Chain A
Amino acid sequence: MSKQDSSFLIRRIHSLLGVIPLGVFLVQHLVVNHFATRGEEAFNQAAGFMGNLPFVIFLEIFVIYIPILFHGIYGIYIAFTAQYRYGFPNTYRNINFVLQRVTGVLSFIFIAIHVYQTRVQVFMGVDLDFDLVADIVENPWWLVFYIVGILATVYHFANGLWTFMITWGITQSDKSQRIMGYVSLIVFVIVSVIGIQAILAFI
């Protein structure tokens, strides 16, 4: 058995990327989309502003695509090296352990489809505006898919904050881990509400 390999560094990078930039981007993305609740015009303006940032293609590549591919692909590897056959499946933390992996894989699928339906279409010449999303969620199946996808991704992010605090050794005591559990629950509720309100504004 070799003594050293890169897994420590890769895991730390994986963990960091989950929060910065991915977590920050997720919150920002849902908040911008929340403009849709103020009407089509407000959303088009906000989306237009984000879409026309200088160097937007570099921002997207380095802040989103590379981190998400790294985190996502390594995350899938992590998810499939776990074995769920046995243990104490009904404890709160064990359920969260399983959900963290299930929602990670769900997010990956959801994000891939979502990027295809929006970013790739814009790249092919479709206008980035309110109707782009409205046309998708007009179909109730797609709407359900989007709601499940948003909830899964937000859960994954919120519970990921809890594990992040342990990965970096910040929360050690039972008490701090418990309080961080409540914080992560609150984050889940607030960000979910923002995300669901945003998507419902398109119908």
Chain B
Amino acid sequence: MAENKTIRLSIKRQENPESSPYWEDFEVPYRENMNVISALMEIQRNPVNAKGDKTTPVTWDMSCLEEVCGACSMVINGTARQSCTALIDQYEQPIKLEPMSTFPIVKDLQIDRSFMFDSLKRVQAWVPIDGTYDLGPGPRMPEKKRQTAYELSKCMTCGVCLEVCPNVNDRSKFIGAAPISQVRLFNLHPTGSMNKHERLEALMGVGGVSECGMAQNCVKACPQGIPLTTSIAAMQRETTFHAFKSFFGSDHQVD
């Protein structure tokens, strides 16, 4: 291969949360099997733009580098995905990098995903087992249920499903697919289901499941292939039942 082959990148940058964004072009030396992160690291090492001017290094988020943490999500050539597994060879150049626009921008490609984490807290996306004594082993789970739960547990809170959703934006409070699917996960769990009603009630609150508009972009975009639209429909059913049970009364509010 030619030694002086380069990669052209066009990056949407922003100094801080208040300042306005601008585009800056970069050219970095090509190596085989590079991904977007290694190209960004090259810019960090030598922060010079395509015009040859010295500039500030580009900021982004990352952690695992193997598509399990979700931190490195950004919009690459118009598609939201993880940058650590985005191979340079598969993209048309110049490769356009933008931060995910649903979330507040911290700096450059780094975003603040607190909105999603706060929603997960609101819907209690966990199994509460903390106590002062050993509760012993939990109940067994049917294999079929385990398989379904396993698929749902793959969520890495990357935020891509929120990014592609037309109903997650500044004008609406809709929490998006990931937290709704997590309610399904923890309500499937034999111990988690003891607090089922609390999670369902949270889903019936502001920005909850009823605000889904069924554009179904989330399920197409999710890098983990989680059946998000089935999760949402399942939670629509559960919240419908829960509403009837709460109003008319029932002995089966929790199980």
* A→B interface (CB under 8 Å): 1-5, 7-9, 11-12, 78, 80-88, 91, 93-94, 96-98, 100, 162-163, 166-174, 177
Contacts of A3 in B (CB 8 A): 122, 201-202, 205-206
> Which of chain A's residues has its CB closest to B169's CB?
A83
Contact status A94-B237, CB under 8 Å: no
Contact status B171-A8, CB under 8 Å: no
Contact status A169-B215, CB under 8 Å: no
Please give the distance in Å from B237's CB to the nearest CB on chain A.
Answer: 2
B167 CB–A CB distance under 8 Å: yes
Contacting residue for A94 out of B122, B171, B205, B215, CB 8 A: B215
Contact status B166-A8, CB under 8 Å: no
4 closest residue pairs by CB, A with B? A169-B237, A97-B215, A169-B236, A11-B210
Contact status B217-A169, CB under 8 Å: no
Task: Given A87-B217, A91-B220, A166-B214, verify A1-B122 contact (CB < 8 Å).
Answer: yes
B240 CB–A CB distance under 8 Å: yes
Contacts of A78 in B (CB 8 A): 213
Contact status A7-B172, CB under 8 Å: no
Contact status A166-B232, CB under 8 Å: yes
Contacts of B164 in A (CB 8 A): 86-88
Contact status A84-B243, CB under 8 Å: no
Q: Can you give 24 A-B contacts (C-beta < 8 A)?
A: A2-B205, A3-B202, A3-B205, A8-B205, A8-B208, A11-B210, A11-B211, A82-B167, A83-B171, A85-B101, A86-B163, A87-B221, A93-B214, A97-B215, A98-B166, A98-B215, A100-B213, A166-B236, A167-B210, A167-B236, A168-B236, A169-B234, A169-B236, A169-B241
Contact status B206-A12, CB under 8 Å: no
Q: How many residues belonging to B are interface residues under a CB distance threshold of 8 Å?
A: 42
B59 CB–A CB distance under 8 Å: no
Contacting residue for B172 out of A9, A81, A172, CB 8 A: A81
Task: Given A4-B201, A83-B169, A87-B217, verify A169-B240 contact (CB < 8 Å).
Answer: yes
Alpha-carbon distance A120/B251, docked complex (angstroms): 52
> Which of chain B's residues has its CB closest to A94's CB?
B215
Contact status A166-B233, CB under 8 Å: yes
Contacting residue for A87 out of B122, B205, B215, B235, CB 8 A: B215
Interface residues of B in 182-237 (CB under 8 A from A): 201-202, 204-206, 208, 210-217, 220-221, 227, 229-230, 232-237
Contacts of B208 in A (CB 8 A): 7-8
Contacts of A82 in B (CB 8 A): 166-167, 169, 172, 213
Contacting residue for A1 out of B206, B210, B217, B243, CB 8 A: B206
Please give the distance in Å from A89's CB to the nearest CB on chain B.
Answer: 9
Task: Given A88-B221, A169-B233, verify A80-B171 contact (CB < 8 Å).
Answer: yes
Contact status A12-B216, CB under 8 Å: no
B116 CB–A CB distance under 8 Å: no
Alpha-carbon distance A97/B171, docked complex (angstroms): 17
> Which of chain B's residues has its CB closest to A93's CB?
B216
Contact status B210-A7, CB under 8 Å: yes
Alpha-carbon distance A141/B226, docked complex (angstroms): 49
Please give the distance in Å from B121's CB to the nearest CB on chain A.
Answer: 11
Alpha-carbon distance A78/B214, docked complex (angstroms): 13
Please give the distance in Å from B183's CB to the nearest CB on chain A.
Answer: 13
B151 CB–A CB distance under 8 Å: no
Alpha-carbon distance A170/B240, docked complex (angstroms): 10
Please give the distance in Å from A87's CB to the nearest CB on chain B.
Answer: 4
Task: Given A7-B211, A11-B211, A12-B240, verify A94-B216 contact (CB < 8 Å).
Answer: yes
Contact status B234-A7, CB under 8 Å: no
Alpha-carbon distance A163/B163, docked complex (angstroms): 22
B73 CB–A CB distance under 8 Å: no
Contacting residue for B237 out of A87, A88, A162, A170, CB 8 A: A170
Alpha-carbon distance A170/B163, docked complex (angstroms): 27
Contacts of B240 in A (CB 8 A): 12, 168-169
> Which of chain A's residues has its CB closest to B170's CB?
A83
